[in-house]
Each structure stands twice: as C-alpha cells, then as structure tokens.
Chains A and B, each alone.
Chain A
Amino acid sequence: MPSATLLGQALISGVLAGGMYGLLAMGLSLSWGLLRLVNLSHFALAFLAAYIVYELGTTWHVAPWWSAALVVPAMFGIGAAQHWLFDRFRVNELASLLITFSVAVILEAGIQLYWTADFRRYETDYATLSIKAGPFFIPVLELALCLVAGVLAWGTWLWLRKTFVGKALRASVEDADIAAAYGVNHKQLAYLLSGIGAAYAGIAGTFIALIATLAPAEIWTWLGVVFAVVIIGRLGNPLGALLAGMAIGAAQSLAMAVFSPAWAPVVSFSMLIIVLLWDPEWL
C-alpha cells in the first residue's frame, strides 16, 4: 500500500487531470444533450486549436491568452458552420456520429499534413510551475484549467437554468414542435449552441497546447474516457460533466497509484457501467 502522501498527491493530480476531461466533455454534452448530435470532431477541433496556439506561440511568440482570444471566437464560427451542414442535410443522432467521425479523420489528416506526425511541445516558463501546499504539489497550469472549467461549467449551467434561451433549449429537446408553437426559433438557438460547444473545444485546446505533447493521433486519446464522463455527468448538464470528469480523474489516478497504470481505463468504464445499471434512464 502506498503512503498517505502519495495517495493524496495522486488524488490531487487526478482531480486536476479530470478538469481536462470535464472541459472536453462540456461541449460534447451540450450538443449531445440539447441538440441530439454526437460530435466526435470535438476532439479534433480542440487539437486544431491547440496546434494553432502552439504555432502562434512558437513561431510568432504570441502569448497563449492572446492566441485564445483569437482561436476561441474562430472555433465558435467553425462550430456554427458545422451546424449549417447538420441542418442542411437533416442529420440525426446516429448519422452525426458517423459524419463527425469522418470530419475528425479529415482534420487529423490536415493537421498531420501541416504540422507532420512529429511530437510537438510548446515550452513556456510556467509549464512546470507548481504551488507547494504542505507535502503536496499543485501544478499551476492544471489548477488554472480547473478554475476556467469551473467558471464555464457553472456559468453554462446557470445560463441553461435561468435564462429564457436556456429554458427554450431544454424545452426544445423534449418537444421541439410545441416549443416552436410558443415562438422558439430552435434553428437559431442550435447555431448558437453549436458555436458555444466548439468555442469550449477552443478553450480546451489552448490548455492542451500548454499542458500536453501534441501529435495528430493524440486527438483520439481522450475519446473513450470523455464519452464516459459525458454520460455519467448526464447529457446536457455542464456542471455534471465537470464533476464526473473530476471524479473519474481522481478514481483513475488512485487506481494507478494503488494497482498499476494499466488499470486507468478499467476504472472509467466500470464507473460508466455501474452508473448505467443503477439508473438506466440516465441517458
């Protein structure tokens, strides 16, 4: 059995890593839960954003926050444009999975064409910075990621709960015709939500650029675990996505510390299966 300090550190690292799962899951959860579109290209968009932030930072020496100010609105536009395709071809839930898978493969190829298959690392002065709290180390970048994810999750949750637009979106998932009969222009709201989802991919991408090593095939790394997070956190619930992400991150990290690193994927999918057996209406 590892020491208490090691377990504590594993827990902290796990929760912080889970922040990334949650951040990536949020955009997916919104479009899956509220538009019934499963967007596999979300991960590819996040990596596209990461590569752009990397490129701007290494070649042009643009600070990542300025890059984000550019990339996030651009991603919003890409998300809305992508929704135009879905709308134009009346794409349903299953078809969206297949189409966005293709989009992801194409984006992956595009990234590989421009940036090659080499591993890329965006070195910054603060990449390895950490705060010491007692016996534990808290990496600053990951902490910042979690704070940003927390603000976004909370803000989005409030937006869906409290505003008329949020209520209209929730109503439309259940009965789009009746929502329309009361004046909800679902088409317009769907563009907005798709844009927001993709903008979240842009924010996640900015952090991926700073934290992770980039390679085109890496876009698939988080696919499995983030899907589990989306479902455990409940579709369309951004706060649930973040909490589920942190819970899975913590569980994975503890499993790796106590057993072996090979156990990490087993943990997330066992949790998924347990949740689904416990409450099948979750989806």
Chain B
Amino acid sequence: MLLEARNLHIGYGDAPAVWDVSLDVGVGEIVSVIGPNGAGKTTLINAIAGLLRCRQGDLRFDGRDMTRVKAHDYCGHGIALVPEGRRLFTKMSVEENLELGCYLAAARAARAQSLARVYDLFPILGQKRRQLAGELSGGQQQMVAIGRALMARPRIVLFDEPSLGLAPSIVDDMFDIIARVRDEGAAVLLVEQNVLKAIEIADRAYVLEQGRIVTCGLPADLLQQPHIREAYLGV
C-alpha cells in the first residue's frame, strides 16, 4: 500500500474529531471518503497532509512512519493537498500560485515541464497566468488549486471537497480531472459530499460518520447498502 493509516485519533484541543480510523490507498487507486458535514472528513485529510498532528495511531506513506515528519516535509515525500475552499494565495498571480507548488528542489527542477502540463490540462489558466488568483471564478480557482498540487509532482493527491461551491456544469469536469490525475500516475484520496459521484469514481470508498468509519467497500457494494441508499442517495 502507498498510504496506510491505522487507528488514527485526531483532534483539536481536548475534543477528538476523528476516532480510530484506518484506511489504505494503493498505487494508482482512487479512494473516496464520504460522509455528512462535520463527520471529520477535513480533519482526517488535513492530518494525512501533515497539517494536523495525530494523537494516536500509525500513519505510513510508502512504508515510512509519517507521524514524526514535520509538516513542511510531507510534500517532499510526495503528498500534495488540494484543500477545502481552495486556499489560494489570492494576492499572488496564477503562475506564482502554481510555482509555489514546485517550491521544493526536486519539483523545481521540473518547473517548466510541470507548468506546460498544467496549462495543457487547464488552457484557461495559461491565458490568465498573470492575473491575481483571487480575481478568478470559483471553477478557475479550483483549477489553480489542482494545478498547484500537480506542480509538486506528487505520488498521491489529497482532494478535499473539490466540487464544493462549484456550478453543477463544472462539477463533472472536476471529476474528469480527478480521473485524469490518477491515469497520469498519482494515487488519489478524495473527500466529498457529492456522494454518488465520489463513489462512482472510486476504486474503494469509506463512509465516515461522527468521526468513525462506519463502513467501507467496493463502489458497487456500497451503492447496494440500505443505509447508504437511505442516508446519502435518498432512495
């Protein structure tokens, strides 16, 4: 397995937000974590990105123990985050945002190639490369956030609610992009409220409710479960 999380407990202050969560992401896989608002999805993905410390449990990436790795060293191991709400550097240009993605030496060496690849994937960003990131539309900002992650030449991309706040017409494009990221060689861990799409695109999916994994499995199996159908699909 590329990413192995075992019995993670994560929390802010005294209140744990995620209990005893275990999940795996293999090379070339898309793994989705679905669940309602406030279930701890963002907490979980931020911990896997190194932004939050786990209080307990074991987090391994490519066999390496990540619990003692500093936050700014996660990226160097091949983990890139597309955060919830995009969190672009709004007062910097589109291209500067992308360049921040290849800040580390190894990725920086491939700066020109990576930029060409991102502009190929999102031609509109090439046209707006000198514009301030904060001035773009929501969909375009999401493209910058994904492009920034790709610039890091990651082995896994963590997507946190990539379809949140986007026009329905763009949501399908976003999922196509996620599939393409995987097809080009990176594994994907996807956290989504758009349950149906997140399950459909995934190789495997986990359901997180109130900080715990309640069920997991193959997409076809999950879509058959009465609880999933009732709570998330409304059928």
B100: which of A179, A185, A186 is its contact (CB, 8 Å)? A179
Which of A164, A183, A186 is close to B76, meaning CB atoms less than 8 Å apart? A183
* A-B pairs with beta carbons under 8 A, tally: 66
B87:A180 contact, CB within 8 angstroms: no
Give the residue of B71, B90, B148 whose beta carbon is less than 8 angstroms from that of A174: B90
Task: Contact check, B72 vs A167: say whether CB atoms are below 8 A apart.
Answer: no
Is B74 within 8 A of A181, CB to CB?
yes
Is B91 in contact with A183, judged by CB distance below 8 angstroms? no
Q: Indicate which residue in B49, B72, B90, B101 contacts A185 across the interface (CB closer than 8 Å).
A: B72
Contacts of A178 in B (CB 8 A): 81, 83, 87, 89
Convert A155-190 into 0s and 1s, putting 1 for each residue whose CB lies closer than 8 angstroms to a CB of B.
Answer: 000000000100110110011011111111110000
Mask of B77-105 contacts with A, CB within 8 angstroms, 1/0: 00011010001011110001001110110
User: A182 contacts B51, CB within 8 Å?
Assistant: no
Alpha-carbon distance between A90 and B92 when the two chains are bound, in angstroms: 27
Decide: A182 and B89 in contact? CB cutoff 8 A. no
B176 within 8 A of A: no
B147 at the interface (CB under 8 A from A): no
Tell me, yes or no, whether B73 is within 8 Å of chain A by CB. Answer: yes
Other-chain residue from A168, A174, A181 in contact with B91 (beta carbon distance below 8 A) = A174
B100 and A182 form a contact (CB under 8 A): yes
> What 1/0 mask marks residues of chain A from 18 to 60 whose CB sits below 8 Å from any chain B CB?
0000000000000000000000000000000000000000000
Q: Does B75 contact A (CB under 8 A)?
A: yes
Report chain B residues within 8 Å CB of A168. Answer: 100, 103
Q: Does A175 contact B72, Cβ atoms closer than 8 Å? A: no
Q: How far, in whole Å, are A264 and B160 apart by their CA atoms in the complex?
A: 55
**Chain A residues with CB under 8 A of B104:** 182-183
Output the least CB separation between A188 and chain B (Å). Answer: 9
Question: Given the known A-B contacts A164-B103, A168-B103, are A183 and B72 also in contact in the complex, defined by CB atoms under 8 Å?
Answer: yes
Bound form: Cα–Cα A102–B6 in Å: 49
Pick from A164, A174, A175, A177: contact of B99, CB under 8 Å:
A164
Min Cβ gap B63→A in Å is 21
Bound complex: CA A184 to CA B108 (Å)? 13
Residues of B within 8 A of A182 (CB): 75, 80, 100-101, 103-104, 148, 152
Q: A183-B76, A186-B72 are in contact. Are A170 and B89 (CB under 8 A)?
A: yes
B50 interfacial by beta-carbon distance below 8 Å: yes
B108 engages A170 (CB within 8 Å) = no
Residues of A within 8 A of B83 (CB): 178, 181
Give the distance to chain A from B206, nearest Cβ to Cβ, in Å: 22
Q: Which residues from chain A contact B72 at a C-beta distance below 8 Å? A: 180-181, 183-186
Residues of B within 8 A of A164 (CB): 99, 103, 108
Contact present for A167 and B92 (CB under 8 Å):
yes
Residues of A within 8 A of B148 (CB): 182
* Bitwise interface map of B from 130 to 157 toward A, beta carbon under 8 Å scored 1, else 0: 0000000000000000001000100000
Answer whether A175 and B71 are a contact pair too, CB < 8 Å, given A182-B101, A184-B103.
no
> Which residues does B use to contact A, with CB under 8 Å?
49-51, 71-76, 80-81, 83, 87, 89-92, 96, 99-101, 103-104, 108, 148, 152
